[in-house]
Amino acid sequence: MLVENNSAKHGQALSRSEAAIVGKAAPDEVRRYLPAFPIYKKTPLLELPGLARSLGLAGIAVKDEGQRYGLFSFKALGGAYAVARLVLEHAQKQLCRSLTPAQLLDGDVQAVARGMTVCCATDGNHGRSVAAGAQMFGCRCVIFLHSGVSAGREAAIAAFGAEIRRTDGNYDQSVAEASATGKAEGWTVVSDFSSEGYTEIPGTVMQGYAIMLDEIVHQSTAPYTHVFVQGGVGGLAAVVSGHLLDRFGTERPRIIVVEPSRANCLQLSAQANRRLAMEAGDATVMAMLECYEPSLVAWDILEKSADFYLDVSDDTAVEALRRFAKPLEGDPVLKIGESGAAGLAGLEVAMADPTIRNRLGLNAKSRVLLIGTEGATDPELYEKLLKDGTAAFAAAGH
């Protein structure tokens, strides 16, 4: 199903606060903190000429976030960045003096940070970033994982010294438990999901992603006509679409937000023209996108800047994963996970359906940008999906 954004706000300029989070100047603020991240480097933007020819397009490029910070996901840019800002703020209050981001790595600052606890709920990637940031800057970390998070992803988070707490139910229920526990314990909740009364920290997480858009703009060899970007709670999609709106205005590419058919809360919200939660159903193989309610800050930006919403099946996502892993001649071999491949799945669905293809204006002149949001964050599951498809997901009890 393809749903067009018919909001009365569509195309309006971002507010000052929204622009501060995702706009053209947001990457400059993120760069101020790079001295605290000496391992920072740009991830590659790769052309896929063979795939473009096979689909009848002028070009396809993919931003490979599987190499980001060694955490295998674009989320590395958000959670750890938010932790850095929070620790700096806490340390300045405790030490009664101004500090630079580079001083986050100093012993006296980290000694103060040890009195601070950060927590969050996660499907895997955001929690890994928060845990990595906590370890890097010296504070305690507690991560809440719902029943659908694999053992492999749990182990990857625990490797950063985080305490793991398993919760019943789905992602949204784990978010509620993390929030309630954090409030009761006096911990700082570093969530990428915003709601009424809780927007500042999720906005900071989103701001961290903005540097990826700045990289893309400077790495691109020609303008894009279309961007297929993953949905989830909407954070990444809002950064991509909001940044391009603020930077290019009416000259921006068309933004198509891609979601699992089993967890398409953004699409359903766009259809209803209001932010709404959906009932949880069967688990999707695209675990990083298994969300049932849009983030408030993200939704407000998406109403202005996203153009279409498209849902894809689990089988299509796994086929896209395989397409990256076993490419056509001339294209690079890419290890992009099942959620990271959702954008390509959306593109292939669109190209296979004449009605959708024509409605999106995809043709021989189109240049498409994809975001490979994650690598093989669960290597064992990745190999099984590569070999056995969604049958491997079903065999795991989903």
123 carries an active-site annotation: yes
- The span from the CA of 319 to the CA of 248, in Å, is 33
- As a whole number of angstroms, the distance between CA 157 and CA 130 comes to 9
Residue 189, beta-bridge partner list: 119
User: Contact at 8 Å (CB) between 325 and 213?
Assistant: no
DSSP 101: G
Hey, is 19 helix, strand or coil?
helix
Determine the Cα–Cα distance for residues 295 and 25; give it in Å rounded to an integer. 22
Catalytic residue (choose from 75, 246, 300, 304)? 75
| Residue of 2, 73, 39, 151 whose CA lies nearest to 337 | 73
DSSP strand pairing (163-166 vs 254-260): unpaired
Q: What would the two tokens of residue 215 be?
A: 């990289």
Phi, psi at 122, each rounded to 5°: -160, 155
Q: Does the active-site annotation cover 378?
A: no
Q: Which of 123, 214, 311, 378 is catalytic?
A: 123
Q: Is 306 helix (H, G, I), strand (E, B) or coil?
A: coil
Residue 10 is encoded by which pair of tokens? 């569509």
Give the residue numbers annotated as catalytic, written as ranges: 75, 123
